[in-house]
């Protein structure tokens, strides 16, 4: 079971991976589950020595694995066209950064 602070760290890691420094700063200061990090965050919203993964996996990886497991359980594989669309969206978002 995930602790609220685990979820908050995963979300913070995602925000930082996406380069959303203003949102990261706001999240660090507004989240009650990140209070200990608020004292140590830098001006750009980064937190030194903070681990933003769970079992070595970031939020995106965990969500992708969850969707894959759920799809197998339900007997419905994710259609190839959807996988392709997600990859294109990810590529486009990375280009925007």
Could you give the 3-state DSSP secondary structure of residue 54?
Answer: strand
* Overall number of domains in the chain: 1
> Residue 22 contacts by C-beta under 8 Å, 6 or more apart in sequence?
45
pTM: 0.68
Question: Residue 52: which domain range?
Answer: 4-96
The pLDDT tens digits of the residues spanning 24-44 come to 889 999 999 998 887 777 776
Q: Kindly give the interhelix angle for 4-17 and 21-30, rounded to the nearest 10 degrees.
A: 160
Alpha-carbon distance of 9 to 34, in angstroms, equals 8
The pLDDT tens digits of the residues spanning 54-94 come to 889 999 999 999 998 888 877 766 666 777 888 888 888 87
């Amino acid at each position: 079971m995930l602790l609220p602070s685990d979820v908050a760290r995963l979300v913070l890691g995602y925000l930082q991976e996406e380069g959303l420094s203003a949102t990261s700063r706001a999240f660090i200061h507004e989240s009650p589950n990140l209070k200990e990090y608020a004292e140590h965050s830098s001006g750009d919203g980064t937190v030194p020595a903070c681990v933003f993964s769970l079992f070595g996996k970031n939020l995106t990886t965990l969500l992708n694995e969850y969707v894959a497991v759920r799809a197998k359980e339900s007997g419905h594989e994710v259609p190839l066209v959807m996988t392709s669309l997600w990859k294109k969206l990810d590529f486009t978002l990375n280009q925007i950064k």
